[in-house]
Chains A and B, each alone.
Chain A
Amino acid sequence: MQVFHRSTNTISRVSVFGAVFFLAVLLWLFYELEASPYTTRQYVAREQPVQFSHAHHVADDGIDCRYCHTSVEKAAFAGIPSTKICMNCHSQIWAETAYLEPVRESFRTGASIQWNRVNDLPDFVYFNHAIHVNKGIGCESCHGRVDQMPLAWQASRLQMGWCLECHRHPERYIRPREEVFTMGYVPAIDQAVLGPKLVAEYGLRSRRVLESCTTCHR
């Protein structure tokens, strides 16, 4: 006496397999979601109180990164320009335009412009710009082609796996110090040759040091 029809065998097989498959898909989905721009806000251009265009200032005007981001070579924080730095130029050019009124207002009243943060690491990460820039890591390697961003966006995932990729293999990303601020840098010789040479020359610490937790977390 058969209680179940023979076809239920198939159903049971499918459902066992299905459950495994379902869980796998769920995990995959979770991972994708976690690493997706939905979570990381990668590629999402941020609105700003003044619609500042890096594309214009970097590409059209050819202003060096360090003119505004003054402390990038000597401090953890690259530095967001003070209103004074904006006004160095804009007291002369575009001095009347309504578009820049928030900047002039800030300069008049002494109230800071409140920019929306684009690249935001978690608070338990102690990232230091100075050491990266001094050891031949280009702005572009993390911030992307800033010279092509009308409104700035976050070019990288900024998750730990992404950081570790470079901390484990800095030779893949290192560039000569002179080229750190270059946008659209292309290595003159094969990176596989240049990279290890620069790593040795700049005295980068061993992988074990760069991987140690307290290198970034304190």
Chain B
Amino acid sequence: MKPPTLLPSLPPAPGPAKDPAPSAPADFASLRRRLEEERGRGRWRSLEELAAAPEFEAALPPEFAEGADSPAPIDRREAFRMLGVSFALAGLTACTRQPEEKIVPYVRTPEDVVPGGTPLFFATSMTVGGYATGLLVESHQGRPTKAEGNALHPASLGAADVFGQASLYGLYDPDRSQTLTYLEEIRPWPAFLGAMRTAVEAQKPSRGAGLRILTETVTSPTLAAQIQALLAGLPEAKWVQWEPLSRDAVRHGARLAFGEPVDVVPNLSRAAVILSLGSDFLGHAPGHLRMARDFAARRRELASIEGSKGGGVRLYVVETAPTITGANADHRLAVRPSEVERLARSLMAALGGTGGGSPSTGNAFLSAVASDLAAHRGSSLILVGDEQPPAVHALGHAINAALGNFAQTVTAIDPVEARPADQLAELRTLVEEMEAGRVDTLLILGGNPVYDAPADFRFAERLAKVRLRVHLSLYADETSTLCQWHVPRAHFLESWSDARAFDGTASIVQPLIAPLYDGRTEHEVLGALTDRPERSSYEVVRDFWRTRLGPDFEGAWRRALHDGLVADTAFPARNVPRPEAPPAAEEARAGGETGLEALFRGDPNLYDGRFANNGWLHELPRPITKLSWDNAALFSIATAGRLGLKKEDVVRIAFRGASIRAAVWIEPGVPDETVLLHLGNGRRKSGRFGTGLGFDAYPLRFSDALWSAPGVEVRKEGDTWPLACTQLHQNMVGRDLARAADVEEFRRDPDFAHRDELEKEPSAADSLYRPYPSDTYAWGLSIDLNACIGCNACVLACQAENNIPVVGKDQVRRGREMHWLRVDHYYGGNPENPEHFFQPVPCMHCEDAPCELVCPVGATVHSAEGLNDMIYNRCVGTRYCSNNCPYKVRRFNFYHYSLQFRAPSMKMLPNPDVTVRWRGVMEKCTYCVQRIQGAKIAADIENRRVRDGEITTACAQTCPTQAIVFGDLADADSRLSRRRREPRSYALLSELGTRPRTSYLAGLRNPSPKLPRPVRAGWSELEPEKETGQR
């Protein structure tokens, strides 16, 4: 299995890539010893660094990997010959005349469109797992180029996540399915309509007994109404929903607790103590952007020295797989899946409830959590992850009720899903009926069940027994190949539809562009089964809302399109019976199982596999592991040591006769004796990026063990698989960069973060740089590490805004990723269960910039407003600037990566306000200078200064927690200036005297005074209040 090359036209990179990831020392004892010797803050970036400094340094890839710039062994004469020739040719290339260009004006200019003027923005919604998030999409003369969050939408509040940011790449993906096919032959749409007509007619006598419709989770009121209307005519037909990252347990848990599947919506803005039982509410959950915003707002309250009473939040996380939520916890406990329920029951008991658990007062973590929760009745919150069993959800509801949190931090609402159902059971019934030959016609609207259905359902095999199979999907994928009819699906940016957000708000999906290919929506495919197949999705959606928007339909409809949502459709809070803890199941799962347990989780970048051909998402380093392009089997240090595994070893993981291959990665924080597998990789049939990259874990996923498989066998295969991890790239070795302190420490010493600056920073007078006068704006950026949750949305926002190319796995392994903004990830403390710190690093725009002095051609210079400008058309690619940059934020185009923008559909992707860079050119963060200039021109025309907040960089705009603020330092009242005056403000490497314009606010943690910090082992092994904090 060879990873596909990204750009077939590129020459192969010279020589084998130097292995940037040396094998991890699985020697636990030595790690522990080193750590005990460790003094100070104890931050580290990798196990190698922690284990043995000399090896680590030898293994550190140079900034540009070895062999990066030598095409082949070359002698001196040859070098001179080449030098001369290239010099002459380089000169000659400047002599070309510009090609003649055409201007193609409109025949009739559409209203509001001004070519070359301000782009238009349209509100739409994106669904992931059925739940809608509002987006605002930038359109240049009908060409969508950039997605932002929709500030009016409750699930976005102006922020977009990585999926939202990457949606444009998905739209223009040249590998999308482009034609309607029947048995792989192209067919026109009317042929499909005819075939459906016949199929429906054949079903009518049996009242639809052979018809099945398989969809993903549906929250769309229009789609649900359409399906229900269809089923009313064919009452024996069935509608089945299947979502591989299933929320069955959530629905089940609600049924257990309340008797019906209500949705419980958390409100973090009122929560002072939060306990997450495996919930990744900052990363992936319905409404996660909203929750991240509220969480960060609460955490900011910690930073006010006066308000030490009342404000702030403390987050306890009990989790089985490392997530960014756990990484942001004040106390994180890594447990095996089976232990979560036990812990929840003990907690229930400790809080005086019933639930079959023992209070187990001897456990320090539990007693600390329990007393903290008990002290915050009505302002505490228990969140339970989708992957937890129904009983844990029910327990979560019961604890919330016992603490009086209902109507305070949690609200029960009617279910958001159109038809909450036990999806797994329905899918099981479906495959049984398929097996029995009772299914004649199967419509699969979206989804990819052949790839992602539980392994024991043998979906592919049973699908063959269905007579007529229709698949609607964006790509010709694993399921499409097994269906006769494949209908290309319209991307959501090409579709009319609707969906509901986490709180029930009806959100409109509005197209930004007509379908690029012959794409159809599920509304149109369903319409083919009715007697009105000609109705467009626009008509279907509009007709649905016509009777529901009040008397002034046109006005309300226009309002809904403008806002992206239908006003006042959030579900009201409803009364629910007081939930009781469910009785403990008799089967003694806990303690009974031995051996290795596999965990299945959605991939942070690829979700369930639906984004598997998205180059931006593939290349994005995953938040915790910083792996790009592949997933891996994640092991804890101890387990890897026991099994004798090293990073990049290939293992075979077997469960109940099924087995997969996967590369090993050792990740601190994974519970011992577990192996964590991210789903959605290793697609067998996708596009150029998706196919064959990573490892498919679905074959190990059985219907009775959807989230964890106890008793897997792991065997070394003997070979290795290279992984592209960016954790060690652009390393600023061994300095105290990501600063954080406990709240108590901060209140004692508010200046802790910038004490170094006060003592060590050379004064401007000592500088040899001539001072730059500042009589105008002085742009700067501040990043609040207390708010940053490490979600990576800023990285993709930057990539989308600034036309940053994708370079491919091989290039990433050589340290050549092009992301202008990276999110550095530091571990702190104990490698068994480390703390995590995230630090976004853009260009620092130093006032005394080391890069500027060394450029021989003046391609990087200082602007009057203090920007460190990069001038692409001057750059000759010496890379001196990058060598001299202490922050390692400069990126070099080793190859002609921008060729990828030449595919016909990809031509539409780039931002027209930003140059597409060539090979041999250095580039870096510009503070989104195109936005600065645009706002300045608008202000200058009106003869005023740019207002504070008028300019936002792409990263700041999309940040769910508003951790990033851009502004004018010359304005003492700007938000930025106010931030710079905060005591937590500090600059990176300020002792060098570079005087960066980018600054940071140090992070704060709010640990419980009752617990050692961090928690050092699994909860059950924790000895009662004996260990002391090692910091």
A residues in contact (CB < 8 Å) with B: 34, 39, 41, 71, 74-77, 79-84, 106-107, 110-117, 120, 122-124, 126, 128, 130-131, 134-135, 202-203, 205-206, 208-209, 211-215, 217-218
Contact = CB atoms under 8 A, between A and B. Distances in A.
Interface string B910-932: 00011100000000001001101
A117 B863 contact: no
Contact of B863 (A80, A113, A135, A214): A214
B769 to A, nearest CB: 16
A74 B937 CA distance: 10
A83 B109 CA distance: 9
B873 A71 contact: no
Contact of B105 (A81, A130, A209): A81
A185 B937 CA distance: 26
Interface of B: 95, 97-98, 100-109, 114-118, 773, 775-776, 861, 863-865, 867, 869, 871-873, 913-915, 926, 929-930, 932-933, 937, 940-941, 943
B101 A206 contact: no
Given A131-B941, A205-B940, A217-B872, A115 B108 contact: no
Nearest to A218: B930
A116 B102 contact: yes
A71 B915 contact: no
B957 to A, nearest CB: 17
Contacts of B871: 213, 217
A131 B914 contact: no
A209 B865 contact: yes
Give the residue among B108, B115, B116, B872 with the most A Cβ atoms within 10 A. Answer: B116
Given A75-B116, A111-B107, A212 B97 contact: no
B465 to A, nearest CB: 51
B872 A83 contact: no
Contacts of B913: 126, 218
Given A82-B106, A113-B104, 13 more contacts: A79-B115, A83-B108, A84-B107, A113-B105, A115-B103, A123-B915, A124-B873, A126-B913, A134-B940, A206-B775, A214-B929, A217-B915, A218-B930
Contacts of B116: 71, 75-77, 79
Contact of B933 (A74, A106, A116, A214): A214
Give the residue among A39, A41, A117, A218 with the most B Cβ atoms within 10 A. Answer: A218
A208 B775 CA distance: 10
Given A75-B114, A208-B864, A217-B873, A83 B926 contact: no
A167 to B, nearest CB: 12
Contacts of A202: 943
Nearest to A112: B104
Contacts of B105: 79-83, 112-113, 115
Contact of B107 (A71, A82, A128): A82
B851 to A, nearest CB: 14
Contacts of A111: 107
B103 A117 contact: yes
Given A130-B941, A214-B863, A34 B104 contact: no
Contacts of B937: 128, 130-131
Query: Is chain B's interface secondary structure helix, strand, loop, or mixed overall?
Result: loop
A213 B107 contact: no
17 contacts: A39-B97, A71-B116, A74-B117, A75-B115, A76-B116, A80-B105, A113-B105, A114-B103, A115-B103, A115-B104, A120-B101, A123-B915, A126-B933, A128-B937, A202-B943, A208-B773, A214-B867
A82 B101 contact: no
Nearest to B858: A213
Contacts, number: 132
Nearest to A34: B95
A215 to B, nearest CB: 7
B107 A203 contact: no
A215 B867 CA distance: 11
A130 B116 CA distance: 10
A75 B102 contact: no
A71 B114 contact: yes
Nearest to A121: B98
B109 to A, nearest CB: 5
Contacts of A211: 864
Contacts of A128: 937
A206 to B, nearest CB: 6
Contact of B940 (A39, A77, A126, A203): A203
Contact of B109 (A82, A110, A122): A82
B869 A71 contact: no
A72 B283 CA distance: 46
B942 to A, nearest CB: 9
B926 A218 contact: yes
A192 B844 CA distance: 42
A74 B929 CA distance: 20
Contact of A126 (B95, B861, B930): B930
B941 A218 contact: no
Contact of B106 (A34, A112, A206, A217): A112
Given A214-B867, A217-B915, A218-B926, A106 B107 contact: yes
A215 B936 CA distance: 10
A9 B752 CA distance: 79
B941 A71 contact: no
Nearest to A39: B97
A2 B644 CA distance: 88
Contacts of A206: 775-776, 864
A2 to B, nearest CB: 38
A79 B913 CA distance: 17
A41 B114 CA distance: 28
B330 to A, nearest CB: 42
Contacts of A130: 937, 941
A34 B103 CA distance: 25
Contacts of B863: 209, 212-215
Contact of A134 (B867, B926, B941): B941
Nearest to B94: A34
Nearest to A205: B776
B115 A212 contact: no
Contacts of A213: 861, 863, 869, 871
A210 B930 CA distance: 15
Given A34-B95, A120-B101, A130-B937, A214 B107 contact: no
A135 B942 CA distance: 10
